[in-house]
């Protein structure tokens, strides 16, 4: 009989393991892959964005009117930065408020964290893939064959259903549903959208669109995005992906810093007979922005630079999404993230039904829920 078991070696699972160990529990972490933190390391390849340095109310608003608020209040941007520094990883805040390690990489932080966990006595077993419930415990496929583990308390941190190659494949959903746990259907979040491009756009594939405002209903976001052979993707698109997924239309303001009246004056001063492309270039549009006007603005007045409708063909597949919406429903867990249908079993991270944009919110959400579940789990069996 194990004292405490954590299944999943991502940010949420390792944080739960740390809290359990700090409370004096003997912790075993089982990870399906050959090493822990694979999605964490992949997310840090272009610069590990650990959190967003902004007031608590604004930070929590990024998650919507959500039940994670107490967890984010207990482990928000300030606590994340302090935790990184405790691991010997100094951080800095960029002009956008995003917080990064000075090294910009995930690997030094993960190495320091694993050393701390080892010092706390946490045992990590890799290539131990959870394979569902056995009649008397939890069944694992291991290098040595099938093993069944029993534990006084268990924390599940198995991720969502995107990036299956890194371990988040959602295979756990039917096992929990069979035990009476309510799980909301998966939906892609922070995802690109397909576009049926005309042939002339091929030469712009891979190019960024900078300086535009993305307008979706009342939401207006400034952010760069990429034109790809599949459609549009990148931070600007991810910021509005939830509304787009739910059916809202995307409208681009390609000159967000210039009032419409000024655009109209500039157009009025141009010579009659000039080509559309030349007029757009004189307005200061980049080549890729001119191409977008030609793609979506045919038949529209040139003032469409201030409100260009973009024809999307739906979100890209779930496994291309950076994160997911859906997962274990709020009503299925207690305030301590214990499954009501499975006493002694806790859940955290992307297994839970929550959604947040990129920009540090995802990692902080995983750490905050892992910490919360670990602390609650540590109290099980303590008199």
Cα–Cα distance measured from residue 139 to residue 121, given in angstroms and rounded to the nearest whole number: 23
Q: Please tell me the predicted confidence (pLDDT) of residue 382.
A: 64
Cα separation of 156 and 164, whole Å? 17
Q: Which helix (H) or strand (E) holds 29?
A: strand 27-31
Q: Angle 339-342-348 (CA atoms, 0-180°, nearest 5)?
A: 35
What's the pLDDT tens digit per position in 176-218?
999 999 999 999 999 999 999 999 999 999 999 999 999 999 9
Per-residue confidence (pLDDT) for residue 272, from 0 to 100: 80
Q: Contact at 8 Å (CB) between 166 and 33?
A: yes
The domains of the chain are located at 2-188+323-378, 193-310
| 27-31 β-sheet, strand order | 123-126, 27-31, 2-7, 151-156, 345-347
* Enclosing H/E stretch for 318: none
2-188+323-378 — its CATH code? 3.50.50.60
Instruction: Supply the pLDDT for residue 383.
Output: 43
- Judge contact between 360 and 50, C-beta under 8 A: yes
pTM: 0.91
Report the pLDDT value the prediction gives residue 271, as an integer from 0 to 100.
84
The predicted structure's pLDDT at residue 328: 97
Residue that the structure tokens 């302090």 belong to: 82
DSSP lists the bridge partners of residue 133 as 138
Residues of the chain predicted below pLDDT 50: 383
Two structure tokens written together for 29: 């972490």
């Amino acid at each position: 009989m194990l004292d405490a078991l954590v299944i999943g070696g991502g940010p949420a699972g390792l944080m739960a393991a740390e809290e359990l160990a700090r409370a004096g529990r003997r912790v075993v972490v089982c990870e399906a892959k050959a090493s822990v933190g694979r999605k964490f390391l992949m997310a840090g390849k272009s610069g590990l964005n650990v959190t967003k340095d902004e007031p608590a109310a604004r930070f929590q608003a990024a998650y919507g009117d959500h039940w994670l608020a107490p967890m984010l209040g207990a482990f928000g941007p300030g606590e994340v930065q302090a935790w990184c520094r405790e691991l010997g990883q100094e951080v800095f805040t960029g002009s956008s408020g995003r917080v990064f390690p000075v090294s910009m990489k995930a690997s030094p932080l993960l190495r320091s964290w694993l050393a701390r966990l080892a010092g706390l006595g946490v045992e990590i077993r890799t290539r131990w893939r959870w394979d569902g419930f056995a009649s008397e415990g939890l069944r694992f496929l291991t290098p040595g064959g099938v093993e069944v583990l029993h534990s006084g308390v268990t924390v599940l941190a198995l991720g969502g259903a995107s990036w299956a190659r890194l371990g988040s494949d959602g295979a756990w959903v039917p096992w929990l549903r069979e035990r009476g746990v309510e799980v909301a259907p998966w939906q892609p979040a922070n995802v690109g959208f397909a576009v049926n491009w005309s042939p002339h756009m091929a030469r712009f594939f891979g190019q960024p669109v900078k300086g535009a405002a993305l307008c979706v209903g009342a939401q207006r976001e400034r952010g760069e995005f990429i034109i790809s052979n599949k459609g549009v993707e990148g931070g600007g698109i991810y910021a509005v992906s939830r509304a787009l997924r739910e059916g809202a239309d995307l409208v681009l303001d390609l000159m967000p810093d210039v009032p419409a009246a000024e655009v109209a004056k500039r157009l009025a001063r141009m010579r009659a007979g000039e080509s559309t492309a030349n007029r757009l270039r004189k307005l200061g549009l980049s080549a890729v922005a001119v191409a977008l006007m030609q793609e979506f603005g045919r038949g529209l007045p040139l003032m469409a630079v201030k409100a260009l409708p973009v024809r999307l063909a739906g979100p890209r597949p779930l496994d291309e999404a950076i994160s997911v919406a859906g997962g274990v429903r709020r009503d299925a867990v207690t305030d301590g993230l214990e499954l009501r249908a499975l006493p002694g079993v806790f859940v955290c991270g992307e297994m839970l039904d929550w959604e947040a944009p990129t920009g540090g919110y995802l990692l902080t959400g995983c750490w905050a829920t892992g910490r919360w579940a670990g602390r609650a789990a540590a109290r099980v069996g303590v008199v």
